[in-house]
Chain A
Amino acid sequence: MRIMAACARLGHEFICVYTGPDAASGHVRMAAELAGAGCLARIRSYQDPSELFAVADALGADAVHPGYGFFAEDFRFARRVRLRDRPLTFIGPSWNVIRDLGDKINTKRIARSLGVPTIPGSDRPIFDEMEAAELARTIFAFQLEQGIAEGCVLVKASAGGGGMGIEEVYDLDAFRSAYRRVRNYARRNLSDEGVLIEQRVFDFNHLEVQIAAERGGKNAVHFGTRNCSVQSLGRQKRIEAAPGFDPGSIDYAFDAASVLADITRHSVNMALAVGYDNVGTWEWIVTPRGEPFLMEVNTRIQVENGVSAAISRINGADGVNLIAEQIRLGLGEPLGYTQDDISFHGAAIEYRILAEDPQNRFTPGLGRITRFSWRAEPWLSVSTQVPTVLSGEPYDIPMDFDPNLALAIIRGDDLPQARARGEAFLDGLDLAGVDASGGPLCTNVAFLRARTQTLLRF
């Protein structure tokens, strides 16, 4: 929806693709409202590029926006967009940038070569057991030196992902067997024996730096930091706050201002070094002792971009739209401003309201929404695809995708104020529905409310 809004704002025509289950959802209605039914194209699956290209060619599109998921970080899709017989513009970084930064190990190596701090451990797959044991020993010694009483080493398959083939090891004696288990798992299931060995960092803050760079990768700016530490089990973000730290109004155990300065500086430097050429996010973890480590780079616009936009001003003007910036940069327009033109004011918190059960491993909820409304405030903006808000008619949550209901952004002068307003918003939210068994629909509102309290306590 926000992509379409951005297109409309920039004056570009767009085509909205949708699948069967989505036909009734808000984004399709909105597309129809914005540009008429001619811009709608129904496809069988969001995952089949051939079908997308057929639609694009048939309707004469010039550029493709990959959205937030599926194709946004798939360098093969980006490559195909560029290299096919009838090339299109990919609204996103160049495919080789996506490829280089899409691999965590590779990102780590690039970061290290630029002196950007990364998590202590190996930066290439280890194939030799002796070498692995030596590394683990060094990491334990390293943690001891840092004053971490209970050291922990992470052993993971270098080709793996999604939590498979990862083991935590708390002492060196257990390391060998864990290493072998992971290696055998990797050999069997991934046909790649490479194993990574890293320090396991507990109790960290998850910070992100929003980067924007123009085509050619010459100029890059950042749009501040945000704190995404409140996540569900599967590392899905639930609350995001910008700026990442607020040293002006909150006391931290470490020098938060210099941490923020460090990570933004490193992120922009790295973006320039790799020739980054679109909007992207540098993800950092900050330990309780205030050490930042680069974790990975998201080579796409993220759902939580709004929260960064909310606190940024370009040349003093409000209403920054990062998606519009992304489309503009993606089409090859120059940045048009420098870091000095960007200023930050106030704070913002974003809530993701989902139909899910935080008590039960964040299982997605299914059912029908019957009531959904909130009290309008000047500091509040909510975007939702649920039609109930406008029309009051019930809405069935589609089964095939994340049960995302709404995104709420709350502004404040500083983080404590934003937090208080956020609690007020959640308290005043009227959201009800029935699930498949007829009981009340599970949502994460209570979870969000509870975590808002702990959000900024580090």
Chain B
Amino acid sequence: MDIDKRTRQLSARLAYIRDIFGPRENASSALLTHRLEEFLNRAPELGVLDLRREVDRLEELFALLEGKLEDELTPMDRVRIVRHPQRITLKDILENVYDNYAEIGGQDEWSVDPGMLIARATIARRMGRKTVHQPVMVIGQEKGHGQEFRNGGSIKPFGNANALYYMRVAETENIPIHTYVFTPGAYPIEDYPGAAQQIARNLFQMAGLKVPVVSVISEGGSGGAEAIALADKRLMLSHGYYSVISPEGAAAIEAGLKKKADRRLIERCAERLKITAKDNLALGLVDRVIQEPALGARPDNYEFFRTLRREVIRATDEVVHAAQGLGPLRALVLRHRGGVDPQDIFVRWSLSSSAREALLIRRREKFRAMSAHAFVDNRSLGTRLAVGLARGLWQVHSLLRHDIFARYKRRLSGRIEQWEAELRALGLGMGSLLGRENGGACHGVPPEALSRLTTLSCPEEGVCRVEDRWVYVSPKSREDRTVTCPNAATHGCQDLWAPDLYGEFAGVCAHCGHHFPMEYQWYLYNVFDFAHAYEFNAELEAGNPLGYEGFDLKLAEAKRATGLGSSCITFETRMEGVAVVVAVLVAPFRGGTVGAAEGEKLIRAIERARIKRLPFFMYSHGTAGIRIQEGTCGVIQMPRVTMAVRRYIDSGGLYLVIYDTNSYAGPVASFLGCSPYQFAVRSSNIGFAGPGVIRQTTGLEVPPGYHRAFLALSRGHIQGIWDRRDLKKNLHQALLTMGGRNLYYR
């Protein structure tokens, strides 16, 4: 090779190393810089043979030191690798891993969202001398080596919508989907649809997608990643990161939003968040790690692309195998895979209809088992056994009562109704034959009806209708002070006396209807009748799965202050005589954030509702998102709970979500946002990221009231806005009118 070209390459490699290790003092890179400079100074004097020898030696030195540096990589260095413009992109993968591809749904900047790249690709496999081209739907974020219009792989809601559409196409065509995650996070705008809304839709649909999905994560930034990463097999590149929040974001939160976080804090946060491939593999959140060359793969590492190709083929094969089985010999080869290139054995990737169901069950079980040890389980062995036993008994009970008995009962009562109607028709006909007068509005009123006009009706209701409506009265109502309504300037509201406002008015301004925030206990007791409810799984408590430094203390403090083990309370209660399962996300406990314990409790509550055929209400008293201190153990709750929800809705339940105060980020972008029945209490905010975060990440200034419930309603995110005082009435109305057919009281 030309000496010039080789030296240029070496300079590029050095620049790359400097970029990755940044301003950090580094002996290796200093040595390389020195040696390269020395060489370049001496080069004009050297002869051809000397030059070649020198370059050979330099290249050896580079390889050696790169290997050494590889061992020194900190998590933050990996983040820098992933963000480097020379990092491989989806286009490179399409060029090098797949045998043929065609981009669909846009070309470069002429696309709904240039960051989202969707392509139909083929992988050629050999069967003896014959070649079989297997079609695949490839979906992923394209960062485009620094192309501005790609938006750094930050996907707007319509980009995710487009991805979802082509996932459905793949489902129709029965071809596997390969998704490649190269995103720092979703673009947090609220539009038609909003970011959270669309991610929730994606997750909900992917939870039931009946084709194999293999996902490769290079840069997995929280919600934006989850939008396409719910997969049967999740692979991860060895230099990638998968995280709940960018280390800078975590550091900003640690440092407090006003101050700017310094570099060391960012480094520390990156370490604590456990974002590397190795950590995620250890946590069981990804299935396999694909080894990259030292200091990360770049577009000219052809050997790496061959590895990647082998790995995605193998992963897809495994998914198909798990779902529908293969011939015994191929299964044996697949299991041992001693030196056999997976593309040499043929596996048909389109699934039969029975295998599609099996695939879903596998996917469900896979996600159900994740993060199983990331929370504190204080239940005794006896309780656990009892719970398991009760669950089994309920399953049998539901089967007998709802699936078998109710069906026959319905059939029988239908017959009886028919006969009864027939007999009535007979009587009516006879009546008209006899010429009975059947008109005249005021005739035929019995005398006791007349007396009813002047006597007390329904004496059992009591004489006095005016009584204190609320079982639980907020402690704020005991202060003698006045509160000014925030709308006073525009609506002319008078100041409210705190005992009136927080007592009788239930925190609602009497004039303009502004809802002041109330404690979650107010809802528990006044809406959900918590005093007579059966709370379950209170022993599942939030833990510190990553060993996040300093978090144990904060968690203990939160538990002490609220008296709760986690930010989620799940219980079974009766509303107007109908038994319902309710889950409440409690804002005072670490901002209502969701971690592994909350996810587990939610899933258990949903399963309970499904098995017992009960409606499931989810009341979000406020949530700030996923608990960042739990890292990816928290993020994984998004697909986990969504899958449980999907299963519940598919089995004909009623899943209703109520938002209050401020609900943002992960939960809204998954299990809350995917409900077909979402309602907000007035004066609440719903969205993906708060105005501050939007400003930081996108530079956009959002108008005031950007996340108001009324705007969420107009965006189609929620289905209605309810007055706090009417919540109980409206929920009863929902019980009567909404939901699937498989509820016990229907």
- List residues 107-159 of chain A with CB under 8 A from any CB of chain B: 109-110, 112-113, 117-118, 120-124, 134-135, 137-142, 144-145
B111 interfacial contact with A, CB 8 Å: no
A318 interfacial contact with B, CB 8 Å: no
Of the residues B453, B464, B482, contact of A50 by C-beta under 8 Å: B482
B456, A120: Cβ atoms under 8 Å? Answer: no
B452 interfacial contact with A, CB 8 Å: yes
Interface membership of chain A positions 53-81, coded 1 if the CB is closer than 8 angstroms to chain B and 0 otherwise: 00000000000000000000000100110
Q: Interface with B: A97-105, A226-234, A366-374, A408-416, which one?
A: A97-105
B465 interfacial contact with A, CB 8 Å: yes
A141, B497: Cβ atoms under 8 Å? Answer: no
Q: What separation, in Å, do the CA atoms of A142 and B455 have in the docked complex?
A: 14
Chain B residue with Cβ nearest A199: B453
B27 interfacial contact with A, CB 8 Å: no
Residues of A within 8 A of B463 (CB): 109-110, 113
With known contacts A80-B499, A109-B463, A138–B480 Cβ distance under 8 A: no
B495 interfacial contact with A, CB 8 Å: yes
B441 interfacial contact with A, CB 8 Å: yes
Of the residues A49, A106, A141, contact of B464 by C-beta under 8 Å: A106
- List residues 472-499 of chain B with CB under 8 A from any CB of chain A: 480, 482, 494-495, 497, 499
B456, A80: Cβ atoms under 8 Å? Answer: no
Chain B residue with Cβ nearest A151: B442
Residues of B within 8 A of A141 (CB): 442-443, 445, 449-450
Kindly provide the distance from the CB of B444 to the nearest chain A CB, expressed in whole angstroms.
8
B464, A47: Cβ atoms under 8 Å? Answer: no
Kindly provide the distance from the CB of B76 to the nearest chain A CB, expressed in whole angstroms.
54
Chain A residue with Cβ nearest B505: A76
Chain B residues within 8 Å of chain A by Cβ, number:
29
B461 interfacial contact with A, CB 8 Å: yes
With known contacts A83-B499, A106-B464, A172-B441, A76–B504 Cβ distance under 8 A: yes
With known contacts A103-B466, A105-B465, A124–B454 Cβ distance under 8 A: no
B726 interfacial contact with A, CB 8 Å: yes
Residues of B within 8 A of A144 (CB): 442
B495, A48: Cβ atoms under 8 Å? Answer: yes
B49 interfacial contact with A, CB 8 Å: no
B454, A48: Cβ atoms under 8 Å? Answer: no
Kindly provide the distance from the CB of A155 to the nearest chain B CB, expressed in whole angstroms.
15
A47, B494: Cβ atoms under 8 Å? Answer: yes
- List residues 3-48 of chain A with CB under 8 A from any CB of chain B: 47-48
B454, A117: Cβ atoms under 8 Å? Answer: yes
Residues of B within 8 A of A112 (CB): 454-456
Interface membership of chain A positions 77-97, coded 1 if the CB is closer than 8 angstroms to chain B and 0 otherwise: 001100111000000000000
Of the residues B457, B465, B499, contact of A122 by C-beta under 8 Å: B457
Of the residues A138, A171, A173, A191, contact of B450 by C-beta under 8 Å: A138
B48 interfacial contact with A, CB 8 Å: no
Residues of B within 8 A of A173 (CB): 441
Q: What separation, in Å, do the CA atoms of A35 and B339 have in the docked complex?
A: 110
Q: What separation, in Å, do the CA atoms of A374 and B565 have in the docked complex?
A: 81
Of the residues A118, A121, A124, A199, contact of B465 by C-beta under 8 Å: A124
Of the residues B449, B455, B457, contact of A124 by C-beta under 8 Å: B457
Residues of B within 8 A of A106 (CB): 464-466
- List residues 429-449 of chain B with CB under 8 A from any CB of chain A: 441-443, 445, 449
Q: What separation, in Å, do the CA atoms of A50 and B448 have in the docked complex?
A: 52
Q: What separation, in Å, do the CA atoms of A142 and B447 have in the docked complex?
A: 9
Of the residues B452, B458, B459, B494, contact of A138 by C-beta under 8 Å: B452
B456, A145: Cβ atoms under 8 Å? Answer: no
Of the residues A80, A100, A140, A171, contact of B497 by C-beta under 8 Å: A80
B441, A80: Cβ atoms under 8 Å? Answer: no
Kindly provide the distance from the CB of A32 to the nearest chain B CB, expressed in whole angstroms.
30
Q: Looking at A117, A118, A121, A138, which has the most chain B CB atoms within 10 Å of its CB?
A: A138
A113, B456: Cβ atoms under 8 Å? Answer: yes
Kindly provide the distance from the CB of B32 to the nearest chain A CB, expressed in whole angstroms.
74
Q: What separation, in Å, do the CA atoms of A146 and B669 have in the docked complex?
A: 66
B723 interfacial contact with A, CB 8 Å: yes
A109, B464: Cβ atoms under 8 Å? Answer: yes
With known contacts A138-B450, A139-B453, A142-B450, A191–B464 Cβ distance under 8 A: no
- List residues 141-191 of chain A with CB under 8 A from any CB of chain B: 141-142, 144-145, 171-173, 191
B461, A110: Cβ atoms under 8 Å? Answer: no
A109, B442: Cβ atoms under 8 Å? Answer: no
B456, A109: Cβ atoms under 8 Å? Answer: yes
Kindly provide the distance from the CB of A100 to the nearest chain B CB, expressed in whole angstroms.
6
B723, A191: Cβ atoms under 8 Å? Answer: yes
Residues of A within 8 A of B499 (CB): 79-80, 83
Q: What separation, in Å, do the CA atoms of A431 and B455 have in the docked complex?
A: 51
B292 interfacial contact with A, CB 8 Å: no
B108 interfacial contact with A, CB 8 Å: no
Residues of A within 8 A of B441 (CB): 137, 140, 171-173
Residues of B within 8 A of A142 (CB): 445, 450, 453
B500 interfacial contact with A, CB 8 Å: yes
Kindly provide the distance from the CB of A104 to the nearest chain B CB, expressed in whole angstroms.
11
Chain B residue with Cβ nearest A125: B465
Residues of B within 8 A of A100 (CB): 464, 466
Residues of B within 8 A of A99 (CB): 466
Chain A residue with Cβ nearest B447: A145
Kindly provide the distance from the CB of B480 to the nearest chain A CB, expressed in whole angstroms.
4
A124, B466: Cβ atoms under 8 Å? Answer: no
Residues of B within 8 A of A85 (CB): 480
B494, A48: Cβ atoms under 8 Å? Answer: yes
B453, A121: Cβ atoms under 8 Å? Answer: yes
Kindly provide the distance from the CB of B329 to the nearest chain A CB, expressed in whole angstroms.
71
Residues of A within 8 A of B445 (CB): 137-138, 141-142
Residues of B within 8 A of A117 (CB): 454
Chain B residue with Cβ nearest A173: B441
Kindly provide the distance from the CB of B22 to the nearest chain A CB, expressed in whole angstroms.
60
Residues of A within 8 A of B495 (CB): 48, 50
Q: What separation, in Å, do the CA atoms of A49 and B499 have in the docked complex?
A: 14
Residues of B within 8 A of A199 (CB): 453
Residues of A within 8 A of B480 (CB): 83-85
With known contacts A48-B495, A100-B464, A106-B464, A76–B500 Cβ distance under 8 A: yes
Q: What separation, in Å, do the CA atoms of A84 and B499 have in the docked complex?
A: 9
Kindly provide the distance from the CB of B408 to the nearest chain A CB, expressed in whole angstroms.
32
Residues of B within 8 A of A47 (CB): 494
Chain A residue with Cβ nearest B725: A191
Kindly provide the distance from the CB of A361 to the nearest chain B CB, expressed in whole angstroms.
27
Chain B residue with Cβ nearest A87: B480
Residues of B within 8 A of A80 (CB): 497, 499-500
Residues of B within 8 A of A76 (CB): 497, 500, 504
Chain B residue with Cβ nearest A119: B454
Q: What separation, in Å, do the CA atoms of A48 and B504 have in the docked complex?
A: 19
B723, A49: Cβ atoms under 8 Å? Answer: no
Residues of B within 8 A of A50 (CB): 482, 495, 497
Chain A residue with Cβ nearest B500: A76
Of the residues A121, A124, A172, contact of B442 by C-beta under 8 Å: A172
Q: What separation, in Å, do the CA atoms of A437 and B452 have in the docked complex?
A: 57
Kindly provide the distance from the CB of A158 to the nearest chain B CB, expressed in whole angstroms.
10
Q: What separation, in Å, do the CA atoms of A144 and B442 have in the docked complex?
A: 8
Residues of B within 8 A of A105 (CB): 465
Q: List 7 A-B contacts (CB under 8 A).
A: A76-B504, A80-B500, A100-B466, A118-B454, A120-B454, A124-B465, A172-B442
Q: A50-B482, A120-B453, A141-B443 are in contact. List 17 more A-B contacts (CB 8 A).
A: A47-B494, A76-B504, A80-B497, A80-B500, A100-B464, A103-B465, A106-B466, A109-B456, A109-B463, A112-B456, A120-B454, A123-B457, A138-B445, A139-B453, A141-B445, A141-B450, A172-B442
Q: Using CB atoms and an 8 Å cutoff, list the residues of chain A in contact with chain B.
A: 47-50, 76, 79-80, 83-85, 99-100, 102-103, 105-106, 109-110, 112-113, 117-118, 120-124, 134-135, 137-142, 144-145, 171-173, 191, 199
Q: Which 7 A-B pairs have the closest CB atoms?
A: A112-B456, A141-B445, A120-B453, A85-B480, A172-B441, A113-B463, A141-B442
